[in-house]
Amino acid sequence: MRLDVVTIFPEYLEPLNVSLVGKARAAGLLDVRIHDLRAWTRDRHHTVDDTPYGGGPGMVMKPEPWGEALDAVLASGEGEPVVVVPTPSGRPFTQRLAGELSERPWLVFTPARYEGIDRRVMDEFAARLDVREVSIGDYVLAGGEAPVLVMVEAIARLLPGVLGNADSHRDDSFAPGPMADLLEGPVYTKPPQWRGRDVPEVLISGHHGRIARWRRDQALLRTSLHRPDLIARCDPAAFDRHDRATLAELGWRPGPDGRFGRAPDGMEE
């Protein structure tokens, strides 16, 4: 997979040389190219921003450097990339989107600073390319570089050959499959006792059926506690008889449409 990042802070992307993504690059699985947006400015001061039309605080990134930078990046490769624009006003970045992007051969990221990029840049390139405006969460960062690091890590670990064990992401929170849309429960390793705390007995029982059931119950418990919204929107067909019993113990009841809901605190009969 080829990844291009156009930024005014190339050094911010240094972490892409480290750990999982760094190893994927070294192994030739990822071809990462970082570009300095200021290389496409034409004035002495290498200006990339200007005041917003209509007034208001902050500065807006000028369209000309972005246009020329993207023209040059696009001309340097074969085919058409997906252009990923990090912005707090984008669609949410999810495991599903990470999976979808991991199947594309070429991604171009355009992290912005200031109040964002002049709208015409996205409109111009969306007329001929797949442009995705994406948010990594409901908070505002100072720029899109950290979101690029987040998205690249989520995407790169899904590429074939990047994780040592191909099964490593099978039970991830949000991974498609038996644990779809549930959070992962707790994990343990040796020693069996630490500071007087034991590893749950079932995990050393060697009984695969009981272990799978326990993990599933822990996932339901944790999801109920931290992300009840995920249980409420889950397709009820995903829950077996035992799941339903566990959910009932946690205060969940199927509603008229079959989906599970929970009475507000203190409202249970």
Phi and psi torsions of 268, nearest 5°: -60, 145
Among 73, 121, 136, 219, which residue sits at the site for ligand ADE (rule: CB under 6 A)?
136
The answer to whether 87 contacts ligand ADE (rule: CB under 6 A) is yes
Handedness of CA 186, 190, 195, 198 (dihedral sign): positive
| 93 DSSP 8-state letter | P
Contacts with ligand ADE: how many residues (CB under 6 A)?
11
Q: Which is nearer to ligand ADE, 65 or 144 (CB)?
A: 144
User: How many residues are there in the chain?
Assistant: 269
88 assigned to active site: yes
Among 10, 22, 77, 88, which residue sits at the site for ligand ADE (rule: CB under 6 A)?
88
Q: E strands within 37-81? A: 49-50, 60-61
Min dist CB 140 to ligand ADE, Å, is 5
Among 58, 137, 186, 192, which residue sits at the site for ligand ADE (rule: CB under 6 A)?
137
The answer to whether 147 contacts ligand ADE (rule: CB under 6 A) is yes
**Token couple for 38:** 């200021």
The answer to whether 65 contacts ligand ADE (rule: CB under 6 A) is no
Locus of tokens 């409202």: 267
The answer to whether 135 contacts ligand ADE (rule: CB under 6 A) is yes
The answer to whether 230 contacts ligand ADE (rule: CB under 6 A) is no
**Token couple for 187:** 């994990």
| Residue 114 to residues 64, 122, 221, Cα–Cα distance (Å) | 16, 16, 41
Among 141, 180, 202, 203, which residue sits at the site for ligand ADE (rule: CB under 6 A)?
141
Q: Give yes or no for a cis peptide into 191 (omega within 30° of 0).
A: yes
Min dist CB 184 to ligand ADE, Å, is 23
The answer to whether 81 contacts ligand ADE (rule: CB under 6 A) is no
Min dist CB 64 to ligand ADE, Å, is 22
Task: Find all residues with CB under 8 Å of 176, minimum gap 6, and list them.
Answer: 99
Q: How far apart are CA 5 and CA 35, in angstroms?
A: 6
Catalytic positions are: 88, 115, 157, 172
The residue ranges that bind ligand ADE (CB under 6 A) are 86-88, 135-137, 139-141, 144, 147
